Structure 1
Amino acid sequence: MSFLGRKFDSRAWFVMTPNKAPRSSISTAAVLPLKSLKNSKQRLAPVLNPQQRAELTLAMLKDILHTLTLCRDIHKIFIVTNDPIVKRLVERIMGNNPQHQPIELLAEPRKLSAERVESGLINAITHAGKVLAKRNIQRMIFIPADVPLVRPEEIQKILNPVSDKTQAPNGVLNIVPASASGGSNCISCMPPDCMNFSFGEQSFTRHISIARHLNLSTITTHSAGLGLDVDTPEDLAQLAKRLFEQESDLAANPHSKSSNKAPNKVHSHTYQFLSSHSILNALPPANRAVESIRLRN
């Protein structure tokens, strides 16, 4: 399998790790929307070419999928995409790991308008919510495909408050605000089709307003791992800084509790991608941590 002339080994691309902790009785699905690889992360064009942007997207997706398999309350994972490469990769992942949470592909919906065919995050998540509700899945969590720092315990923290509909008969909405744009970097809700979503800049306040209009119980959760989504060269430099800091911490404390919570982000595909000398030289020098990676490589 190849993309822009380079082969991807899907057999080595992803290994699931089972989580044997007791699961919640609330049926829960994670939803990850993913654009076409050829059009992914275009705001990173000043520092990454199309091949590199596709590789970064796949590396981050792998890390997030691995994290989700470690979340005891995630029963199923849906990837909303029309990209044929991602589709083939997911099919092979499930063929190699049939005993773990199933990963299902949903076609990205396309909305016909008078001027053009529109597709995007709003349509993808709203459509997924309706599909999950029809399948009697009680709770949905939307995870962006560009937050590779997220940890299993952070996802669990977001799910926990969205668990008791008796206290909120009209539904529950828990939002993680984006650290920079005022957007919504993660949403957990019950039921999955409780509202029509409204992503984009300043979407956090819009979602709160819509939820209150619908008499939904609203919760705000802050998360370091979910707060940083990778859209710009500055975001990429910040991601490199934080991954390097994690590596330094683990190197200094190899037997610490955090080092046993797989996946160790310093061993992730995202870190391996960023450790490339040519990639790091293209990043804006956000701080000394990024410069240290450059010097070491």
Structure 2
Amino acid sequence: MRCWIVIPIKAPEACKTRLSPALGDSERQALVAEMLHKTVSAAQAVAGRDQVLLLGPSRHGLDADISLLADPGRGLNAAVTSARDTAVREGIGRLLLLSADLPTIEPEDVAALLDVAADAVAGGPDRAGKGTNALSLPLPAASQFRFRYGEGSFAAHRAEAARLRLPFLTIDRPGLGLDIDGPDEVALWRQG
């Protein structure tokens, strides 16, 4: 079964603007690039280079051979819907969406999201259990999955799997749980 691991990422200057009070522009962009490179490396270690794609306007300094999917520009839910539709047209059997801001992600975290029953949706929650840092979809079974990124997305994605009558598995791992949204997470990560 072919899979795609898609990592949505904004343009460098638009990334992690909530960190602006704590980090200057160059520090913030360097942090984003570091986390993106870590996430891409973990994904490529599991799936290979040709199955890892970025979704957005920039590769953030990554090699030109990493595929870049176009972002239609109407927010994250529209962008991942576009990626899902492209994956369905390409005959992809599983689509894994990974947040780009997972500084402690390891290949084993990615593998856990792919090593699930063929018909199951798998989600990796944030540390609070409310946000969705990873979402693994079986295709074409989840070709009508409605994305609900935003506040309370993890429960909304679980409900969406139920609407489609697909089993939902929670993949709760530290490497998937720590995402960097505010200065407190940066401090937590730097402390180890």
TM (norm. structure 2) is 0.92
User: Per-residue displacement from partner, 1:217-249 (whole Å, max 9, x unpaired)?
Assistant: 11111010010100100000111112xxxxxxx
Distance (Å, rounded) in 2 between the aligned partners of 1:193 and 1:71: 24
Tell me which amino acid in the other structure corresponds to 1:90: D
Give the deviation of 1:180 after TM superposition: 2.5
2:33 aligned with 1:108, yes or no? no
Please tell me whether the aligned partners of residues 29 and 77 of structure 1 are also in contact (alpha carbons under 8 angstroms): yes
Q: 2:130 aligns with which of 182, 192, 195?
A: 182
Q: Which residue of 2 aligns with 1:285?
A: none
Give the deviation of 1:41 after TM superposition: 0.5
2:99 aligned with 1:144, yes or no? yes
Give the deviation of 1:90 after TM superposition: 3.4
Distance (Å, rounded) in 2 between the aligned partners of 1:78 and 1:45: 27
Distance (Å, rounded) in 2 between the aligned partners of 1:48 and 1:87: 18
Structure 1 segments, 4+ long, off by >2 Å, are: 72-75, 86-90
| Count of aligned residue pairs for this structure pair | 190
Q: Which residue of 2 aligns with 1:193?
A: 143
Distance (Å, rounded) in 2 between the aligned partners of 1:44 and 1:88: 21
- Alpha-carbon RMSD across the aligned residues, in angstroms, is 1.8
Q: 2:189 aligns with which of 239, 248, 256?
A: 239
Tell me which amino acid in the other structure corresponds to 1:148: P
Distance (Å, rounded) in 2 between the aligned partners of 1:160 and 1:89: 27
Q: 1:228 aligns with which of 151, 174, 178?
A: 178
The equivalences for 1:1-297 within 5 A come to: 26-72=1-47, 76-83=51-58, 86=59, 89-91=62-64, 94=65, 103-110=66-73, 119-162=74-117, 164-165=118-119, 172-180=120-128, 182-191=130-139, 193-242=143-192
TM (norm. structure 1) is 0.61
Distance (Å, rounded) in 2 between the aligned partners of 1:109 and 1:72: 26
Tell me which amino acid in the other structure corresponds to 1:53: R
Distance (Å, rounded) in 2 between the aligned partners of 1:54 and 1:30: 23
Distance (Å, rounded) in 2 between the aligned partners of 1:78 and 1:194: 21
Between 1 and 2, higher relative CO (CA 8 Å, sep ≥ 6) is seen in 2
Distance (Å, rounded) in 2 between the aligned partners of 1:31 and 1:186: 10
User: Which structure 2 residue ranges, 5 or more long, are not aligned?
Assistant: none
Give the deviation of 1:77 after TM superposition: 1.0
Distance (Å, rounded) in 2 between the aligned partners of 1:230 and 1:71: 23
User: Per-residue displacement from partner, 1:257-289 (whole Å, max 9, x unpaired)?
Assistant: xxxxxxxxxxxxxxxxxxxxxxxxxxxxxxxxx
